[in-house]
Amino acid sequence: MVGAVNRPKAWPSFSFQSNEILCSLEKMNAWKFTQEPHNANRGVTLIAQSASNHPRLQSYVATGGPLWLEELFENERSAALVVQS
């Protein structure tokens, strides 16, 4: 989707999705749409795999995040703070 948003003409198959995203982003003064390396967002990957393999009645967003990933997210947060310093 990053390519479709940043270069919509190069991704005609995703024109509807990229247009929806761009229309939402127009309301913001500044925005940046980038692709994260796969290993930089491991928690999200694990949540997506879990949601695909084990459907739930309520989403992680509504419940505040999965407890089994708290340590991973804390480690990612700590690593991000070190990089920013």
**Residue 4 carries which side chain, given as an amino acid letter?**
A
Q: What is the pLDDT of residues 30-78, one digit of tens each?
A: 888 788 787 777 887 887 787 777 776 666 666 667 788 888 888 888 8
| Residues 42, 78 share a domain | yes
Q: Are 51 and 57 in contact (CB under 8 A)?
A: no
Distance CA 85, CA 73 (A): 19
Domain tally for the chain?
A: 2
Range of the domain at 20: 1-35
Q: Are residues 13 and 48 in the same domain?
A: no
Considering the entire predicted model, what is its pTM? 0.44
Residues 22 and 42 in one domain: no
Q: Within this chain, do residues 18 and 52 fall inside the same structural domain, yes or no?
A: no
Say yes or no: 42 and 80 in one domain. Answer: yes
Give the pLDDT confidence of 4-33 residue by residue, as tens digits: 888 889 999 999 999 999 898 888 898 887
Residues 46 and 78 in one domain: yes
Do 28 and 3 lie in one domain? The reply is: yes
